[in-house]
Amino acid sequence: MTRVIVVGGVAGGATAASQLRRLNPDIEIVIYERYRDISYGSCGMPYYIGGDVEKWDSLTNMTPEKFRDRNIFVKTEHEITAVNSKENTVTVYDKNSDTEFTDSYDYLILSPGGSPKKLPAVKDAAQTFSLHKLADLDYIVKFIKENNIKEAVLVGSGYIGLEVTENLTKRGIKVTMLQRDERIYKNIEADMNGVLYEAMTEKGVTLKLNTEIDYVDGGKAVLSNGETIDAPLIITGVGITPNTEFLNSSNITLKDGLIPINKNGQTNIDNIYALGDAVMTHFQHVPEMTIQSALAWPAHRLAHIIANQLAGDRSITHEGLLGTNIVKFFDYNIATFGLSEKDIAEIPHFTVDQKQKNKSGYMKDASPIHIRVYVSKDSGLILRAAVVGTEGADKRIDVLSAHTRLGGTVYDLINIEVGYSPPFSSPKDVINMVGYKAIEKAEDL
Amino acid sequence: MTRVIVVGGVAGGATAASQLRRLNPDIEIVIYERYRDISYGSCGMPYYIGGDVEKWDSLTNMTPEKFRDRNIFVKTEHEITAVNSKENTVTVYDKNSDTEFTDSYDYLILSPGGSPKKLPAVKDAAQTFSLHKLADLDYIVKFIKENNIKEAVLVGSGYIGLEVTENLTKRGIKVTMLQRDERIYKNIEADMNGVLYEAMTEKGVTLKLNTEIDYVDGGKAVLSNGETIDAPLIITGVGITPNTEFLNSSNITLKDGLIPINKNGQTNIDNIYALGDAVMTHFQHVPEMTIQSALAWPAHRLAHIIANQLAGDRSITHEGLLGTNIVKFFDYNIATFGLSEKDIAEIPHFTVDQKQKNKSGYMKDASPIHIRVYVSKDSGLILRAAVVGTEGADKRIDVLSAHTRLGGTVYDLINIEVGYSPPFSSPKDVINMVGYKAIEKAEDL
């Protein structure tokens, strides 16, 4: 019988296993997960801290027991330490029994994810946490309750930093955010991130730029700027390292520590597939450029593709990603897709900025949306889009994403027929206006 | 000098004139508007009643004075009563002086709009209004204030009926809505309109189905069901008749009282263009089917096209419409695009229904969105989409619209890369799930 081993049981791996079982009742499926939990909604964890997620249980989709009912065998606390792609075997370390064994596969699905980077200055302090696994969430919530935490230090301003800051604040905890350089949330353009500062001011978050923790002294943190601040809870969100070291001897090609995949979801080795945060793929709209696939949407999409590939339908393939992403920070939403600003600098392009209300301008609760697009001079395609606003920023990035994905140019945005009514847009929505402005701008090029 | 006459100065006509002036500083432009006001946001009027629009002035864009500064001549209270397309003249009736004169044009732009249908049983009652022109809004608001109105009867349940009901309720006025048959808001599927009943129950709106007003007796309305109810204010919203009678002798082709246009925005007569509520065009995605263009988005789009055509750029053309539309009713949003249910019945199709939360299911304020799509069996195109929900229904119709417009099939919805974060969607958004379900359904066809 065909045997499939899945490495990693969080979003990507668990979903791929489920879908494969659905497509093929006979195949043997084993999931090895190196930590305690599988198949949970890690993106929801910050919202459990703040109370928008009320039930812990709702964060978990599948348990090992439920998987067993579907004839999928899950081994938690089991870490894959090596892959032998010639022998089609993996080395498995069972943390519970502290033993190692070998298992063999016909197909291997890699979904190893990443690990949060640790900061040497704080990592040994008892009050330091990252929020990556479900167990991390449990530790944090328990720690907050047991120590009646009223203040916290958040190191980093990525999406985890922002979401955790919002949710700690909602919980009544006063947050000091530290950013080691002078630019927060680098997913968005430096000159478009003003709403983040506004939100912090409105909500009482203290931000210290160009500041790190030098060391922790009991309940205090001594900062690089000379200050000493209360730090009864420290949460770090300073990026992710892909968990791919175990592949070093595997003959699986790695690039910058990531696993490149082809349109079938395959690594360089035919019977080894990969998905999730440790994967490198290409931009859908600029195929010669690569992108790390470290978001939930791509993990779920690739799970479906890989399951179908393994089940024998080779027609369902991966087209690449736009990299559409969004973060909520209090009332503000920030979204982008496409190449990085740095990569775009090398491509002949022009930009179009449009600031316009999210609904008809005469509505008293209308609020501004700022869209910037970077347009290929050659093709008119939107290489990158950035959207900042409150309500409705998510709509605009999704519409831009759907349009660009199908090859729509910036000029053609004028023709997107939005559902118009005063609470939702203008008769010429901000999306349409980006197109009208692009047409004018192109005439002057 | 080339002379352009524009018939009708509300959204379509005023916008076309503005854009034409922008493209060509020399052309002579005259707007004839038969009523008091020009260039106002008629879609915002219901929201002025409820207070979401705070400033009356914000509803008006341009005044005759501002137009004059741009060398556009506006004559209000001037009605065009006939067009002589052989002589290139129009007959103009000046209401103020009760005189008639003839004016001549090189190009004519028709934007005559429609008039609200009147109900014989109530039209002569002093407390009966429709909400179509800006002057109507003024009458209604003055009447409410002067008579300290606390109750109102709303006849009809179209988008005007719903929006006015919501806004009267917000103003503290108790509304009784009458619908002459048993189905409200026929833009949406009968089995998807349940949220409208829910909203009425929640907000204290009384709905009477299969009920009309037989006659008005002072401040009371006697209903067809035998009841007599207080009716100190009656607002009717029972549809629009296109204002095209003045074209009967013009040789301009009319169809069902509407003015068919081609891709240039032209009527059957080359130098006569038309846009706005009285225009008939075709569906973009099903070009053999016609659609009335009675919404603001198409009026603005066609204004741009016609202005460019007249200014000499024949490359900017009209591609047809999807008919994307949306209405807000209290917390609920209802949106559709595409063919009517009736027209679809004649095309081989299948439907896909998906009910899913608008954000990640574990978020406590997640609420359901219901999408139904009608899919062409031949092409996989979405012939019609219907979306019902609260927050985020507008996003889904716009994404479906952008996707369908570019020829995207229902099956390809699985690849729309949405901006995912728990407050905005699921990793497989409801849009994606419609695609996944369609693929399964197609396998069983």
Number of domains in chain B: 3
**What's B65's domain CATH number?**
3.50.50.60
pLDDT tens, B82-108?
999 999 999 999 999 999 999 999 999
How many Cβ pairs within 8 Å bridge chains A and B?
209
Give the end of a domain, one of A236, A262, A277: A236
Predicted confidence band of residue A193 (pLDDT cuts 50, 70, 90)? very high
Contact B95, B110 (CB under 8 A): no
pLDDT tens, A120-144?
999 999 999 999 999 999 999 999 9
Q: Which residue shows structure tokens 């501004």?
A: A368
Is A52 among the domain residues?
Answer: yes
Is the minimum CB–CB distance between B399 and chain A shorter than 8 Å?
yes
Nearest chain B Cα to A302, which residue? Answer: B415
Is A319 among the domain residues?
Answer: no
Is the minimum CB–CB distance between B443 and chain A shorter than 8 Å?
no
Domain with A375, as residue range(s), is 334-443
Is B315 among the domain residues?
Answer: no
Is B293 among the domain residues?
Answer: yes
Nearest chain B Cα to A61, which residue? Answer: B362
- For position A302, what pLDDT does the model report? 98
Active site residue A437: no
- Spatial neighbors of B126 by CB under 8 A, at least 6 apart, are none
Contact A320, A284 (CB under 8 A): yes
Is the minimum CB–CB distance between B327 and chain A shorter than 8 Å?
yes
Whether B61 shows a pLDDT value over 90: the answer reads: no
For Cα atoms B145, B150, B151, give the angle at the middle one, nearest 5 degrees: 120
Q: Which residue shows structure tokens 């007003």?
A: B213
Strand bridging mode B151-155 / B174-178: parallel
Taking the C-alpha atoms of residue A372 and residue A346, their distance in angstroms, rounded to an integer, is 18
Of A44, A298, A414, the CB nearest to B360: A44
Residues A251 and A110 in one domain: yes
| Mean pLDDT, rounded, for A136-165 | 98
Residues A414 and A431 in one domain: yes
Predicted confidence band of residue A75 (pLDDT cuts 50, 70, 90)? very high
| Residues in B touching A362 (Cβ below 8 Å) | 41, 44, 47, 53, 55, 58-59
Residues A283 and A343 in one domain: no
Two structure tokens written together for B230? 């207080």
Whether A11 shows a pLDDT value over 90: the answer reads: no
Q: What residue type is B301 in one-letter code?
A: R
Taking the C-alpha atoms of residue A378 and residue A381, their distance in angstroms, rounded to an integer, is 8
Give the end of a domain, one of A236, A259, A294: A236
Residues A385 and A373 in one domain: yes
Looking at the predicted complex, does its ipTM rise above 0.85? yes
Residues B430 and B364 in one domain: yes
**What's B387's domain CATH number?**
3.30.390.30
| Residues in A touching B327 (Cβ below 8 Å) | 421
Contact B285, B404 (CB under 8 A): yes
3-state secondary structure of B163: helix
Residues A439 and A349 in one domain: yes
Of B395, B420, B422, the CB nearest to A47: B422
Is B326 among the domain residues?
Answer: no
- For position A383, what pLDDT does the model report? 98
**Residue A206 backbone zone (phi > 0: left; psi -120 to 50: alpha; other: beta):** beta
Order of strands, sheet of A206-208, starting from the edge strand that comes earlier in the sequence: A128-130, A234-236, A151-155, A174-178, A206-208
- For position A61, what pLDDT does the model report? 87
| Residues in B touching A326 (Cβ below 8 Å) | 419-421, 424
Beta-carbon neighbour count of residue B411 at 10 Å?
Answer: 16
Distance from CA of B276 to the nearest CA of A (A): 13
Gyration radius (Cα) of chain A, Å: 23
Is the minimum CB–CB distance between B428 and chain A shorter than 8 Å?
yes
pLDDT tens, B188-222?
999 999 999 999 999 999 999 999 999 999 999 99
Is B383 among the domain residues?
Answer: yes
Of B321, B363, B423, the CB nearest to A417: B321
| Residues in A touching B392 (Cβ below 8 Å) | 394-395
Contact B220, B234 (CB under 8 A): no
Taking the C-alpha atoms of residue B410 and residue B338, their distance in angstroms, rounded to an integer, is 14
Whether B443 shows a pLDDT value over 90: the answer reads: no
Residues A141 and A217 in one domain: yes
Contact B407 A407 (CB under 8 A): no
Residues A62 and A157 in one domain: no
Residues A130 and A229 in one domain: yes
